[in-house]
């Protein structure tokens, strides 16, 4: 699930019989799924507020 409130996601994870995976929904989940486009900065104009960028690949690629 993506961008579900932390409280709601915690309830879903607690009651679910299967692992839950989060895309920016906080820590109350089985695991997080980072999106490599966001992590590498491929689209610097549209980085979601919950994403952590670890590079500027889009800038480097456009300079080449």
Residues acting as catalytic residues: 2
State the CB neighbour count (10 A cutoff) for residue 40: 16
Please, which residues bridge with residue 22 across strands?
A: 32
Alpha helices in the chain (DSSP H): 6-15, 36-39, 57-63
């Amino acid at each position: 699930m993506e961008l579900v409130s932390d409280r709601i996601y915690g309830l879903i994870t607690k009651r679910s019989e299967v692992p839950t995976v989060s895309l920016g929904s906080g820590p109350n989940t089985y695991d997080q799924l980072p999106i490599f486009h966001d992590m590498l900065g491929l689209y610097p104009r549209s980085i979601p507020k919950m994403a952590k960028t670890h590079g500027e690949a889009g800038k480097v690629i456009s300079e080449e």
